[in-house]
Amino acid sequence: MNWLLGGAIAAAVCALLYRWIRRLLRRRKHRLISFVALLREPMTMDPAILANAAGKVWGADLGDGTSPGADGFVVGADMVNTITHEGRMFLVNSFARPYIDDVEQAAEGIPDLRIRGLFCEHSAWFSCDALGINGDTPEQDVVDWYQRLGKLFAELLDENCLLIFIPDSGRAYPVNEETIDALGAEDPLGALQATATVPIIEVGDDDPLMQQAVEQARRNWPQFVAAFETRAGEHFSVKAPVSHAGNKEFIWISVTALEGDRVYGTLANDPGNLGPLKLGSKVVVPVGDLNDWCYIDAQENMAGGFTLEAINQAARRKPRKGSAGAP
């Protein structure tokens, strides 16, 4: 039996199938258990390649993309492919257009500058979806679906992917060297969350809460110096602006030394757009530029962190032009 449709007819049928399934899910209030990859460039999802990839990660015979195997089959073309395996149905979609119609408008509502920038770069997407999930589905079954989808998604992922989006939670994750292992974990969502980068939040220069927090941090700077010099605590960090090629980010720095009016340390977060600088890069900043500091004291409590509340509040508001800060 031939499971492939031909040319433009296949594309049209698959597009209609995709829209029908999405409407059905919304109407029945089914949960969308899915991994979505936002891509730099469109990708082709060939049924033969998909059958091989799914069969590899699930240890199954799913045929060759044109005929069924002993454990199921793959059918589809171009944009939408359906996988049937062990009585379950999966969708694997690949579209040569942005995930959202108006990317710029959607980006305005993303407070994390790192994720916003990556989101604006994407021009296409693919996803691995589970079919048949609703509010009555046992949570353990949902976990099993995510495990299966995560392994398949990881097998299909490559350097073309900018962001991973989880529709069920609304969370997005930049792709990094830990992503593939996280997707193959027993709890892929929890493991993926552990790979999340520190958000970069935009805060207005005239934000009164931020101004008060910075003043408080600078006023209490002698407390940090005294604790650092006597080692009355651990994880000593400061937050200061670091620039490269005209881009400036307020970023946390793990302090290694204090010398006069200079602070020496290494970047404690991955920057959003600071060229060659990355997590662990050595930097030197003037004390006068600091806008926050923190450390863990002898009682294992955090001292400092004055700007964190201002940044958290800014993250809940609509983004605005100003300076960037990372909590």
> For residue 318, which amino acid is it?
K
Residues 47 and 65 sit within 8 Å (Cβ to Cβ)? yes
Per-residue pLDDT at 105 exceeds 70: yes
Q: Kindly state the percentage of the chain with pLDDT values over 70.
A: 86
Residue 123: how many other CB atoms lie within 10 Å: 15
CA dist., res. 41 & res. 125, Å (int): 8
Local structure of residue 50 (DSSP, 8 states): H
Nearest to 45 by CA among 99, 101, 96: 96
Q: pLDDT grade, residue 317 (50/70/90)?
A: low
Q: pLDDT grade, residue 127 (50/70/90)?
A: very high
State the pTM of this model. Answer: 0.73
Per-residue pLDDT at 12 exceeds 80: no
Local structure of residue 198 (DSSP, 8 states): P
pLDDT of amino acid 53: 95
Bigger pLDDT: 286 or 207?
Answer: 286
Bigger pLDDT: 203 or 62?
Answer: 62
Bigger pLDDT: 278 or 14?
Answer: 278
Place of tokens 């999340």: 196
Residues 21 and 131 sit within 8 Å (Cβ to Cβ)? yes
pLDDT of amino acid 4: 35
Local structure of residue 305 (DSSP, 8 states): -
The neighbouring-strand residues paired with 295 are 303
What Rg, from alpha-carbon coordinates, does the chain have?
24
> In this structure, what are the phi and psi dihedrals at residue 230, rounded to the nearest 5 degrees?
-100, 0
Residues 90 and 129 sit within 8 Å (Cβ to Cβ)? yes
Per-residue pLDDT at 70 exceeds 60: yes
Per-residue pLDDT at 2 exceeds 50: no
The neighbouring-strand residues paired with 242 are 249
Judged by DSSP in three states, 180 sits in helix
Q: pLDDT grade, residue 30 (50/70/90)?
A: low
Nearest to 229 by CA among 209, 255, 253, 203: 255
pLDDT of amino acid 206: 78
pLDDT of amino acid 15: 43
Q: Which residues contact 94 (CB under 8 A, 6 or more apart)?
A: 42, 43, 44, 45, 78, 79, 80, 81, 124, 125, 126
Q: pLDDT grade, residue 8 (50/70/90)?
A: very low
Per-residue pLDDT at 17 exceeds 50: no
For all residues of the chain together, what is the average pLDDT?
A: 85
Residues belonging to the chain:
327
Judged by DSSP in three states, 57 sits in helix
Q: At 269, list the tokens.
A: 């977060």
